[in-house]
Structure 1
Amino acid sequence: MENPTYSTFETEHRVRPDDIDLFQHVHSSRYIDYVLAARYEQMEKFYGMAMEKFLERGFGWVVSSVQINYKRPLNLGDYFLVRTGIDSINERICRVAFTITNKATGKLCCDGWFDYVMIDIKTGRGAKIPEDVIAHYSV
């Protein structure tokens, strides 16, 4: 069976003063926050299935692993674009690929992926991703 092609979505943000580290550019940990914030917004805006819908069903998404490849820094006041899209999804893991690009220069700041697993909120343990969710997110 052929792997499906998934949509990519884009969210714009701006670097805030509290994102800046000792070296006067965005701290490496903030890039994780940027992707998580973009995904939260994109789940509702583009997929039509916000995080709250998962919580109502007793499910949550947690990050199990992250790969970030840093290319160049973002600085205070920079506007940037976070592009994300599902790379693959099955009953256990949803891999989301991302890029963060400086809006003014068009240059890539970093790229990588996040592996998300679904958990049962009551038990805190891993849960199978329901077929309807896999189908819904396969846009």
Structure 2
Amino acid sequence: MSVPYATFETEMSVRPDDIDFHGHVHASKYQDYLLAARFDQMERCYHMSMTDFHERGLSWFVKTSHFDYHRGLRLGERMVVATRVAEIHRRGVRVAFEILRLPDRKTAVSGWCDYLLIRLDSGMPVSLPGDIEKAYSA
């Protein structure tokens, strides 16, 4: 489906343990920022927390992730992680994201992740239930 989906933002700060040998955020930390933002946005914006999924015996599995690094973030800088559902598929979603440095909102990292909805008991992918597809289509 290619329709415009809402973009949601979560603001956060670079922490001392995020910094690598070069004095900027280590590449792996951007995955942590994205995960933290998605957890926040699932509950706050979609009104479906990860706990809600777990109570239904479901979870999200990262099938593919793609990160383009544009500029490094440094200790003490603030950022906003902006995400949106880019595509909805039968068994998952593609989430596009940008991590923007504040206050100038220059792109530090952009990319996308494909998530599969899986059953917790088997790890097997399942079709998106109608209420989940509806919530993510907003």
Identify the TM-score tier after normalising by the shorter chain.
Answer: over 0.9
Q: Which moved more, 1:124-133 or 1:110-119?
A: 124-133
Q: Which moved more, 1:117-126 or 1:72-81?
A: 117-126
Partner of 1:101: 100
Q: Does 2:51 align with 1:52? A: yes
Partner of 1:132: 131
Q: Which amino acid aligns with 2:104?
A: T
Within 2, Cα distance between the matches of 1:27 and 1:80? 15
Percent identical: 44
Question: Which digits, 9 at most, give the CA deviation of each residue in 1:72-112, with x for residues without a partner?
Answer: 00000000010000001121220000000111232110100
Question: Which digits, 9 at most, give the CA deviation of each residue in 1:3-47, with x for residues without a partner?
Answer: 322100000000000000111100000001101100000000011
Q: Which amino acid aligns with 1:45?
A: R
Q: Which amino acid aligns with 2:69?
A: Y
Report 1:53-132 matches (<5 A).
53-132=52-131
Which 5+ residue runs of structure 2 have no aligned equivalent? none
Kept in 2: contact 1:59–1:120 (CA 8 A)? yes
Q: Secondary structure at the match of 1:108?
A: strand
Q: Which amino acid aligns with 1:108?
A: T
CA RMSD, 1 decimal:
1.0
Within 2, Cα distance between the matches of 1:94 and 1:106? 26
**Structure 1 78/89 Cα, relative in aligned 2: closer, same or farther at 3 Å?**
same
Within 2, Cα distance between the matches of 1:13 and 1:102? 10
Report 1:31-42 matches (<5 A).
31-42=30-41
Task: Give the TM-score, by structure 1 length.
Answer: 0.95
Q: Secondary structure at the match of 1:24?
A: coil
Q: What count of residue pairs does the alignment treat as equivalent?
A: 138
Q: Which moved more, 1:62-71 or 1:127-136?
A: 127-136
Within 2, Cα distance between the matches of 1:119 and 1:100? 27
Partner of 1:4: 3
Runs of 4+ in 1 over 2 A off after TM superposition: none
Within 1, Cα distance between the matches of 2:62 and 2:42? 15
Within 2, Cα distance between the matches of 1:77 and 1:98? 22
